[in-house]
């Protein structure tokens, strides 16, 4: 049996955690299957080009605010803004969404994802799996791939999925999208996703994040010293009083590492354009950044505790049986509430650290493998 595993994009190393964990889940359910990984990165690139145009009005407002009291800044930044506008113009232009509640960036991503080809259309599969935080922009990016699979009558399973938000506009978009694609089965990673979307597919299960299977995919070597880990790409890292060595990771290895003038200018637009790697990270002690997932897994499997604003710094840490603390407010964090409710993690005495229960985690993982196996067996001739 040939199974397509649709990877998203490795610009965020956390996506790789999800995808390799999903691969492990698939192989546990169907050990003799051939899992073929294909990246949606071509679609992502096209989508980003289009979505940039949707940010221009915000960028313009930001520039006007910054330069309103400075002739020098006006002369300096206005040409930069004009260049960004010129480069971000789409040949076809963004389409006006039918539903005004749907976020513009999702609409722009969907409209801009048809320019580059994807090799998934050149391979025959028995079924396809799409994991991760895709219930929103991820679906928009993957639409050409899923459309092609649908036309070829290849069953699509959404496994360990959730959304970046559950606002009305996003939910309306996802429901309309899934009504059209008709996935064969949905396994969610948090109860909110299950509540919003379980009735769309013929088979649904309220499960856990596939990144929790990452310890089954890779067993890192043991470290020769004791350390804790931090990963703060979004907010200022909190002060941690410890005598233990602190390793500092960064989950954006493909961002621009330059710290020159042009990069300082791009940092002014960090709310709308990808922020460069911060200078304070590059100059910090024991900083670790890599394009190799296994390097990160070494850190998270050996740390005493991980402190992070990245969900998928905490998830692999928990998967390897270590403690983690999450520091960012986002609807995606509902997956941690899910783990707490299932007894997979408990709170430390301080209340800020998640302490894993490895036995309960294995129970939940086995349930998810069983549900995926059942869904596929009922829909696909094996």
Query: What does each C-alpha distance from 62 to 230, 237, 264, 270, 290 come to in angstroms?
Result: 31, 26, 15, 11, 32
Per-residue pLDDT at 191: 96
pLDDT digits (tens, 9 = 90+) for 170-210: 999 999 999 999 999 999 999 999 999 999 999 999 999 99
Residues 6+ apart with CB under 8 A from 331: 163, 164, 165, 166, 192
Q: What is the mean pLDDT of residues 114-123?
A: 84
Cα 333 from Cα 164, distance rounded (Å): 9
Total domains in the chain come to 3
Examine the fold and report which residue of 108, 140, 156 is the final residue of a domain before the chain moves on. 108
Residues 345 and 260 in one domain: yes
pLDDT per residue as tens digits for the range 303-357 = 999 999 999 999 999 999 999 999 999 999 999 999 999 999 999 877 689 999 9
Q: Do 74 and 177 belong together in one domain?
A: no
SS (H, E, C) the chain: CEEEEEECCCCCHHHHHHHHHHHHHHHHHCCCCEEEEEECHHHHHHHHHHHHHHCHHHHHHHHHHHHCCCHHHHHHHHHHHHHHHHHHCCCCCCCCCCCCCCCHHHHHHHHCCCCCCCHHHHCCCCEEEEEECCCCHHHHHHHHHHHHHHHCCCCEEEEEECCCCCCHHHHHHHHHHHHHHCCCEEEECCHHHHHHHCCCCCCEEECCCHHHHHHHHCCCCCCCCCEEEEECCCCCCCCCCCCCEEEEECCCCCCCCCCCHHHHHHHCCCCCCCCCCCHHHHCCCCEECCCCHHHHHHHHHHCCEEEECCHHHHHHHHHCCCEEEECCCCHHHHHHHHHHHCCCEEECCCCCCEEECHHHHHHHHHHHHHHHHHHHHHHCCC
The confidence score (pLDDT) of residue 56 equals 45
From CA 186, how far away is CA 197, in angstroms rounded? 8
Regarding whether 54 and 43 lie in a shared domain, the answer is no
Pair 155, 69 in one domain: no
Cα 318 from Cα 325, distance rounded (Å) = 10
Pick from 84-93, 107-116, 247-256, 279-288: least confident: 84-93
Span 99-124, average pLDDT: 80
CA distance 247 to 308: 12
Whether residue 325 is found in the same domain as residue 368: no
Give the residue from 77, 108, 139 where a domain finishes: 108
Same domain, 191 and 141: yes
Based on the domain organization, do 118 and 103 belong to the same domain?
no
Whole-model pTM above 0.95? no
Q: Are residues 39 and 145 in the same domain?
A: yes
Does 279 share its domain with 323? yes
- Domain coverage including residue 61: 49-108
Last residue of a domain, which of 65, 89, 108? Answer: 108
What is the token pair recorded at 73?
Answer: 């800044």
pLDDT of residue 204: 97
Rounded Cα distance, 349 and 205, in Å: 32
Read off the pLDDT of residues 248-289 as tens digits, 9 standing for 90 and up. 999 988 765 554 444 444 444 444 335 567 777 878 889 999
Give the whole-angstrom CA distance, residue 21 versus residue 70: 51
| 353 and 282 share one domain | yes
Instruction: Give the CATH number, domain containing residue 115.
Output: 3.40.50.2300
> Taking 50 as the threshold, does the pLDDT of residue 91 lie above it?
no
Based on the domain organization, do 188 and 336 belong to the same domain? no
Question: Does residue 103 sit in the same domain as residue 238?
Answer: no
């Amino acid at each position: 049996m040939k199974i397509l595993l649709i990877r998203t994009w490795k610009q965020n190393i956390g996506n790789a955690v999800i995808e390799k964990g999903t691969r492990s889940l698939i192989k546990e359910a169907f050990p003799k299957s051939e899992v073929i990984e294909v990246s949606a990165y071509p679609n992502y690139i096209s989508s980003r080009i289009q979505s940039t145009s949707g940010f221009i009005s915000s960028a313009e407002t930001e520039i006007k605010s910054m330069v309103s009291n400075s002739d020098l800044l006006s002369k300096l930044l206005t040409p930069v803004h004009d260049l960004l506008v010129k480069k971000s113009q789409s040949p076809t232009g963004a389409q006006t969404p039918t539903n005004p509640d749907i976020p513009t960036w999702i609409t722009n991503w969907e409209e801009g994802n048809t320019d580059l080809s994807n090799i998934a259309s050149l391979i025959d599969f028995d079924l396809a799996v799409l994991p991760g935080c895709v219930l929103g922009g991820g679906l928009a990016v993957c639409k050409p791939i899923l459309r092609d699979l649908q036309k070829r009558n290849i069953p699509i399973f959404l496994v360990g999925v959730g959304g970046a938000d559950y606002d009305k506009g996003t939910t309306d978009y996802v429901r309309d999208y899934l009504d059209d694609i008709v996935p064969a089965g949905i396994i969610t990673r948090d109860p909110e996703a299950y509540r919003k979307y379980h009735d769309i597919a013929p088979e649904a299960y309220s499960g856990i994040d596939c990144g929790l299977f990452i310890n089954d995919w890779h067993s890192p070597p043991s470290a020769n010293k004791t350390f804790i880990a931090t990963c703060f790409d979004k907010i200022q890292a909190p002060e941690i009083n410890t005598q233990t060595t602190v390793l500092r990771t960064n989950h954006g290895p493909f961002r621009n590492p330059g710290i020159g003038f042009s990069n300082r200018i791009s940092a002014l637009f960090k709310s709308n354009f990808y922020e460069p790697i911060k200078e304070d990270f590059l100059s910090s002690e024991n900083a670790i950044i890599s394009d190799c997932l296994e390097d990160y897994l070494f850190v998270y499997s050996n740390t005493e505790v991980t402190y992070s604003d990245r969900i998928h710094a905490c998830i692999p840490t928990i998967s390897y049986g270590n403690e983690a603390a999450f520091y960012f407010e986002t609807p995606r964090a509902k997956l941690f509430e899910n783990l707490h409710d299932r007894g997979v993690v408990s709170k430390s005495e301080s209340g800020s650290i998640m302490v894993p229960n490895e036995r309960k985690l294995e129970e939940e993982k086995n349930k998810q493998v069983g549900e995926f196996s059942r869904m596929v067996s009922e829909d696909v001739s094996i």
